Chains A and B, each alone.
Chain A
Amino acid sequence: MRKIKEVMPVMLDLSYVKDYFDLRIEESETTSLQFRGKELEVIQRNFERGGFLRIFKKGNWLSSSFNDVENQINKENIDNLLKDAELLKPKEGSLTFLFPKEDKRIYKIIDQEELLNYKFDLLRKYNNILLSHPKIVTTNALYHDRLVRKIFYSKEGRKIDYTIFYYTIYLVAVSRDGNNICDYGIGVGRSRVLEGEVSIKELLKDLENKEEEAEKIVKIVVDLLSAEPVVGGIYDVIIDQRLAGVFAHEAFGHLSEADHIYTNEKLKKLMTIDNQYGIEELTIIDDPLLPNERGSYLYDDEGTEAKKTYLLKEGKIAGHLHSKETSAKMGEELTGNARSISYRHPPIVRMSNTYIEPRDKSFEELLSLLDNGLYVCGARGGQTELENFSFASQYAYEVKKGKLGKMIRDVTICGNVFETLKNIKGIGNDLKIHGGSCGKGSQYPLPIGDGGPHILIKNVIIGGR
């Protein structure tokens, strides 16, 4: 790993700008390796450098992003940006401001080599396990890391400078039997704020010892070939930790993002603090301060300190996620959730690590409570549109009289989030947080974490043929 040089350019004195402004500069290095089948089809390293300057004037945002950091931050460009304000009708608008603060985290990477061999060998080892069954036709085994230094500077007098290292592996196998093709995989994603002496090799140990999980992928993807598709209808289900995370994030978390709420009177009413939607055991949290999860950070992209926010506490709406703008609009405290995927984009309200708090029920207890229904596992993805959600699982099992039965496939769960929250009847004790990515607007992929324990839900619509 190369040592990042000092990147803050000679700063133009911006004190003459009367309106709120902030400037972000990012420098990043990315390494990707991808096996598809036996071949290492992708091996690449990318070096990015760029900036994002924005001004809040007469209730509207004016922004500019650029690569040529040294030459683009000049008076002429700033004047042009201020002139753009005249194109937009002025309106009322305010922001929640922060107090001045300087925070610079210094680190030193102590590994001397590039570690390419290590990354390659690790990925190849898992890929070989994925390829170990004759019914597996190909794989998609991906290693990805990104070291990103984020520098933030604002009108308020905030100067923040810190670096995060993201590291991920993603393992997928594709099985085939005649015209029947199935795929299944898992991802492991972590992050670390770098401070002091850092050994990247030490961090990457988080990605080691996944052999058993790779073997499980092979078993599931081969078993899927003989699994029958689900028959659509209404079922009682237990969802696994992965799907519980998708539910916490996709179905509920997005509704807690205040930029959705403040423009929508109905949602405002539905998401009013203290509204009761779930059983008392149900608590959903967004927490960027969880150590080393993929959605963790110290400051958001508006320079606000990260903090833990209860979205749903004991079944009641407890909080919303905010940027400087939504916090001012709704008169609620800042939560540090304004994030952007890179210097090319403005910060918007996003989640960090979102999860359902675990309770006391073991998986076996949930199975016997369920009696008859489905045990639904893994997530292909999820999509929401305000109160409606849809998420696709990877595989599922029939449950009869509290016992797991045969595997079935193509199970997609959908519904109205508020109804579904009311139908949560049991919460497990086995929390797991998964590192993934989220898309909103045109911004994908943003590193996030989501998770939960096993959850029992009654009366769920399952799509099927």
Chain B
Amino acid sequence: MVIEDLKGLLKDKNIIYDIFYEEGHQESFQYRGDEPYSCEKKETRGVGLRVIKDGRIGFSSTSDFSKLKELVDTALTLSFYGEKVNIKLPWEKDLPEVKTISNKTSLIKSEKLCSMAEELISLIKEKEPEVKIDLSIEKEYQYVRLANSEGFDASYEKIILGFGFDGLLVLEDGITWLSDFYNLSENPELDFKRVSEDFCQLIKIAKKKVKINTGEYKVILMPIPAAHFCSILFVGANGKQLEKNATPLIDKEGKQIAPTFLNIVDDGIYPFGYNTSPFDGDGIKRRSTKVIENGIFSNFLFDLVTAQKLNRKSTGNSDRSYGNMPRIQATNIYVEPSSDYPLTKIIKDVNNGIIIYYMLGAGQSNVLAGEFNWVINLGFKIENGEIIGRIKDCMFAGNLYEYLNKIILIGSEIKDLGNYYLPPIVLDKCKIVTKGI
């Protein structure tokens, strides 16, 4: 109804516009220190209106549907100051069919969500009674509809189920913090026994501390640091940075920037990905875009406005919520795994190295230039193919564009983080600075 009302208000104004409407509801359960803490429910709704009047963009949004007339007036007023653009809003046919709702997940009841949480907590506590578990399980339904002045009018629904937990272990010589996350949007069945065993195994080895000297090491990036590593690439591959001449990738299209076995994809139609949808915030089809193909930098990501300015084509990467103007954003980032390199085998092949699970300081460095500067928050020393203990007070800094060429191996086991699909990434000759234990 809101879209129809807005269309009515905009009918005789002879302007280009699009209307982004969303509504949804969410139910989540939080556990703290092994115990239940809260049940939160959210009902959300809102509408954003983008207008192009005399070639200039204006935008306004609201969650108060008694203000639709004000919304239109405001967007039109603001367009007087807005950026001048020369775009035609799309009316794309044959939108891709995407998987965003699974029956199994949509039918799951609140009681089941709580019992999943309790089962995992009790399995971990059986093995590691001293660890304190915080846990969050969230089920979210989203409905999005986009309509524009060209006649495009489409919608989609999505159900997301996320299951995340962390453990805090306090020992005399310091604190160990670990976390894990599962995107259960496709299938809510989780092998709790295996999940708890993997988690407890990490806790066990974290109890033993080992000393390490400043020097060069082989480094295995587990999914969370691997995601931060890849996210720096996606700052550089953002078409906005190309337009602004602010990316080191500016003259690298079609050039080798990484070893030939590296393939990285921005996949807007990955089944049950957090950012999967049939169309983007401009109404352009979502798709899968190769960003690094066989080590070659192959594509920047674009939305409609930026693509038009650079005489390119949109890659369907316009990210939008009702409250914000569309902007370029990666969707689901997928790093192609190798065929036969499980983590156990990777570790076995390392003589003198480090495996990093978590770090502090992501995104704080000069990411435009590709810099990263991390404190290794949970990392272990590997000697002669075996993890021998936890390292502390270590920092790892470098430049992504240099380190892409230090990738020597990609693992074969993918971790689904909802918007990142990542195997372990192995880097050679990484400078680790340390103060020792």
Contacts and interface: CB of A to CB of B under 8 A. Distances in A.
B373 A463 contact: yes
B371 interface: yes
A60 B36 contact: yes
A46 B62 contact: yes
A344 interface: yes
A48 B45 CA distance: 10
Contacts of B433: 232-233, 461, 463-464
Nearest to A381: B364
B77 A412 contact: no
B144 interface: no
B343 interface: no
A72 B79 CA distance: 35
Contacts of A264: 132, 168, 170
B395 A232 contact: yes
A233 B399 CA distance: 18
Nearest to A379: B364
- The A contact surface, by secondary structure, is strand
B365 A410 contact: yes
A274 interface: no
A414 B45 contact: no
A43 interface: yes
A234 interface: yes
B361 A48 contact: no
Of B42, B79, B393, B431, chain A has the most CB atoms within 10 Å of the CB of B42
A236 interface: no
Interface residues of A, number: 79
23 contacts: A2-B70, A40-B82, A47-B61, A48-B323, A67-B45, A67-B46, A87-B39, A87-B111, A116-B81, A181-B366, A263-B168, A383-B364, A384-B360, A385-B360, A387-B174, A390-B361, A390-B364, A392-B364, A410-B365, A410-B373, A412-B395, A463-B433, A464-B433
Given A36-B244, A64-B42, A67-B43, 13 more contacts: A43-B82, A44-B61, A45-B60, A45-B74, A47-B62, A48-B62, A63-B40, A88-B114, A181-B368, A392-B364, A410-B366, A416-B393, A463-B373
B177 A386 contact: yes
B248 A344 contact: no
A64 B58 CA distance: 33
Contact of B40 (A48, A346, A390): A346
Contacts of B114: 87-88
A112 interface: no
A346 B38 contact: yes
Interface stretch (A145-153, A172-180, A205-213): A172-180
Interface string A120-131: 100000000000
A137 interface: yes
Of B64, B118, B323, chain A has the most CB atoms within 10 Å of the CB of B64
Interface stretch (B13-21, B27-35, B264-272, B289-297): B27-35
Interface in B322-353: 323-325
Nearest to B34: A263
Interface string A301-336: 000000000000000000000000000000000000
A89 interface: yes
Sorted nearest first, the 5 A-B pairs with minimum C-beta distance are A463-B395, A138-B244, A232-B433, A392-B364, A61-B38
A346 B46 CA distance: 20
A44 B361 CA distance: 31
A47 B81 contact: no
Nearest to B115: A87
B59 A36 contact: no
A68 interface: yes
A348 to B, nearest CB: 11
B397 A174 contact: no
Contacts of A179: 248, 369
Contact of B38 (A62, A380, A412): A62
A36 to B, nearest CB: 6
A84 interface: yes
Nearest to B370: A181
B217 to A, nearest CB: 14
A65 B364 contact: no
Nearest to A64: B41
A18 to B, nearest CB: 18
Contacts of B240: 36
A465 B58 CA distance: 45
A388 B45 contact: no
Contacts of B100: none
A182 B369 contact: yes
Nearest to A56: B38
B66 to A, nearest CB: 9
A49 B64 contact: yes
A181 B58 CA distance: 31
A414 B366 contact: no
B33 A263 contact: yes
Given A410-B397, A412-B373, A87 B45 contact: no
B363 interface: yes
A47 B246 CA distance: 33
A266 interface: yes
Interface in B378-437: 393, 395-399, 431, 433, 435
A20 interface: no
A465 B248 CA distance: 19
A174 B368 contact: yes
Contacts of B177: 385-386
Contact of B364 (A2, A50, A180, A412): A412
A181 B369 contact: yes
Contacts of B71: 47
B397 A62 contact: no
